[in-house]
Structure 1
Amino acid sequence: MQRKTSHAGKVFEVTVSASAAARSQIAASWHRSVLKYGLDPDDHRPPEVIEQAALSERLEANETFMMIAAPRLDTLYSLVGQSGCAVLLSDADGVVLDQRISAADKPVFDRWGLRRGADWSEQREGTNGIGTCLTESRRVIIHQDEHFYARNTGMSCIDAPIFGAQGQIMAALDVSSARVDQTEAFNRLIAAQVAQTARAIEEANFRAAFGTARIVVADCDDTGSATLLAIDDHDLIIGATREARRAFGLAATGPLTPRPARDMLGREDGPTGFERAEKAAVVRALARADGNVSQAARQLGVGRATLYRRMKRLGLHES
């Protein structure tokens, strides 16, 4: 039998432990990689890169989403690129669709397989930033030897999931570094920015999906999650982000059955403060319009009569 590397030996030792997977999320992912996907941590094959035709199909299917994400990827890269990091965006299957990498660093990342069209799903690459983020639907930091494959232990990957307008997971936002001196403390600093960027992309995508609706925003302790509701001209809730669905006990994914907003948001002491947020949005719109209700209604994307009804319900007067 081929002699395993020390990293591979550690992976197999953890995998056979009856309790390790319950104690550690990394160990749970290693466990899946070996027992569910049948992977070998000593396998040195490069990541699979899908054919150009297949990549083009994925790019076309995600065209609108990628246009929304692009300027936010640029902003994130402007913050982390000078430190030798790459910014990548995958689809829900873990295939890299877009990237921001300096010309000087590109050969290094190409050798790692961090490139457009590469499949970084957990099923293919074991424990890694993109794949494990998508599998567990959560933010992750996979630092160097926390990766499953021994060939990937020189990397640090910081990821956040992005959920679609119907609550489904649709992408992973990744910042990767191949610097040997990358520290866990630095990873945590990057993680905060990755989470903020993922939230900005998710919010922008949700607003685009419900472009004719009024969007109500709630305060949220989780800065990496967007908590938004889409309400139509009939005061019906027709859409909710993943976090809003969780907060209100709605179906996790799929189209929502329209329901009156007042039935869910009517209490001033509601758990997420949506009514207070709605009142603040109306007050801001009226202030920007110098009290002109018609102009404020246009800003909010609703009819003048609808805004009058909102104002009456919220206890606001035209003056």
Structure 2
Amino acid sequence: MERHGLDPAAPAQGQRVDHSVVDESRARLDRFMTIAAPKLDQLFGLVGLSGCGVLLTDESGIILDQRCSDGDRTTFEDWGLAVGADWSEAAEGTNGIGTCLTEKRRITIHRDDHFLARNIGMSCMDAPIFGPDGGLLAALDVSSARVDQTEAYNRLIAAMVDQTAHAIEADFFRASYPKARIVVADSAEGGAATLLAVDGDDIVIGATREARKALGLSPSGTFTPRPASDIFGREDGPRGFEKAERAAVVRALTRANGNVSEAARALGIGRATLYRRMKRLGLDDT
């Protein structure tokens, strides 16, 4: 009421943006939406028979994609849950999509938790999706206008929504770093997309929002590349060129299954030279 000037008793249907705005957002997020589509189908396959619809919005709360059964489509249209609808808090007050995006966390808005009286017949379960730069990218929503939808059932759906949002985020992160190795980092939040992208020189070149939080880094923005050893705190032992040489020798020996002659050939040096280097680096025959 104070921030957006909304009247909770306003009878008018929600706001919709022009088709050109939807097309522009879809074009900007085309790759992301292509990756997300199979996960939306999978989620709808789990909740669709219960009268729920699956929605994907951009970071401003505009619905860009939707899954619902033909029998429920008219109901969702009447509720304003359709492509092009604006479900930001500025347009609808407290609601699943808008509040999820505002607070950047998973949330359930059940029936009369909604700000506008015309929305209190529905339940909305939402989770945010963050991009490879850690910035807010979208919201995943499951909504139901069934009067018999219980809060206990909503909790089950909310868990599926959260899991799907993490899966979409992880898939998009992997696709954004196709030539990098993807390393899973430890996280206090189970199921979160806690991923690092590491290049061939063992330099971390990207991290998801959850990984940044877990490692004490800035949660969003341009990622400054840094050695993986700095990220993981493993700086014991040799450093600099000696460390790089040791790593190269160990990799060659591992690939050769401990065969020194084969490892020497792979490194382009003689067997005796490799033995001398192993001794200097503190490596034995095992």
Same fold (TM over 0.5): yes
Q: Does 1:87 align with 2:54?
A: yes
From 195, 201, 210, the counterpart of 1:228: 195
Please state whether the residue corresponding to 1:104 is helix, strand or coil.
Answer: helix
User: How far apart in 2 are the matches of 1:72 and 1:222?
Assistant: 21
From 204, 216, 239, the counterpart of 2:183: 216
Instruction: Measure how far apart 1:183 and its partner are.
Output: 0.4
From 169, 173, 179, the counterpart of 1:202: 169
Please state whether the residue corresponding to 2:71 is helix, strand or coil.
Answer: coil
Report the counterpart of residue 143 of structure 2 in structure 1.
176
List alignment gaps of at least 5 residues for structure 2: 236-253, 257-265, 268-285
User: How far apart in 2 are the matches of 1:223 and 1:86?
Assistant: 26
| Correspondence 1:113-192 to 2 at 5 A | 113-192=80-159
Report the counterpart of residue 216 of structure 2 in structure 1.
249
Please state whether the residue corresponding to 2:2 is helix, strand or coil.
Answer: helix
Instruction: Measure how far apart 1:267 and its partner are.
Output: 4.1
Check whether the contact 1:120–1:130 (CA below 8 A) recurs between aligned residues: yes
Q: Does 1:103 align with 2:103?
A: no
Instruction: Measure how far apart 1:234 and its partner are.
Output: 1.6
Check whether the contact 1:236–1:258 (CA below 8 A) recurs between aligned residues: yes
Check whether the contact 2:56–2:66 (CA below 8 A) recurs between aligned residues: yes
Q: TM-score, normalised by structure 1?
A: 0.73
List alignment gaps of at least 5 residues for structure 1: 1-33, 269-290, 294-303, 306-318
Give, as a single letter, the amino acid of the residue that structure 2 aligns with 1:227. T
Q: Deviations over 1:83-125 (max 9, x none)?
A: 0000000000000000100000000000000000000001110
- Moved runs in structure 1, 4+ residues, more than 2 A? 218-221
Please state whether the residue corresponding to 1:36 is helix, strand or coil.
Answer: coil
Instruction: Measure how far apart 1:45 and its partner are.
Output: 1.4
Check whether the contact 1:196–1:223 (CA below 8 A) recurs between aligned residues: no
Give, as a single letter, the amino acid of the residue that structure 1 aligns with 2:113. E
Check whether the contact 2:187–2:214 (CA below 8 A) recurs between aligned residues: no
Give, as a single letter, the amino acid of the residue that structure 2 aligns with 1:75. Q
Q: TM-score, normalised by structure 2?
A: 0.81
Instruction: Measure how far apart 1:292 and its partner are.
Output: 7.0
Q: Does 1:58 align with 2:34?
A: no
Instruction: Measure how far apart 1:224 and its partner are.
Output: 4.7
Check whether the contact 2:187–2:211 (CA below 8 A) recurs between aligned residues: no
Instruction: Measure how far apart 1:221 and its partner are.
Output: 3.9
User: How far apart in 2 are the matches of 1:53 and 1:45?
Assistant: 23
Check whether the contact 2:43–2:54 (CA below 8 A) recurs between aligned residues: yes
User: How far apart in 2 are the matches of 1:152 and 1:49?
Assistant: 16
Judge which range, 213-222 or 123-132, deviates more: 213-222
Report the counterpart of residue 245 of structure 2 in structure 1.
none
Give, as a single letter, the amino acid of the residue that structure 2 aligns with 1:92. E
Instruction: Measure how far apart 1:247 and its partner are.
Output: 1.0
Report the counterpart of residue 37 of structure 1 in structure 2.
4
Backbone CA RMSD of aligned residues: 2.2
User: How far apart in 2 are the matches of 1:140 and 1:155?
Assistant: 14
User: How far apart in 1 are the matches of 2:117 and 2:187?
Assistant: 39
User: How far apart in 2 are the matches of 1:72 and 1:223?
Assistant: 19
Please state whether the residue corresponding to 2:121 is helix, strand or coil.
Answer: coil
User: How far apart in 1 are the matches of 2:203 and 2:170?
Assistant: 20
What is the aligned length? 244
Please state whether the residue corresponding to 2:83 is helix, strand or coil.
Answer: coil
Q: Deviations over 1:277-314 (max 9, x none)?
A: xxxxxxxxxxxxxx978xxxxxxxxxx99xxxxxxxxx
From 135, 153, 160, the counterpart of 1:193: 160
Give, as a single letter, the amino acid of the residue that structure 2 aligns with 1:65. F
Check whether the contact 1:90–1:173 (CA below 8 A) recurs between aligned residues: yes
| Structure showing greater Rg | 2
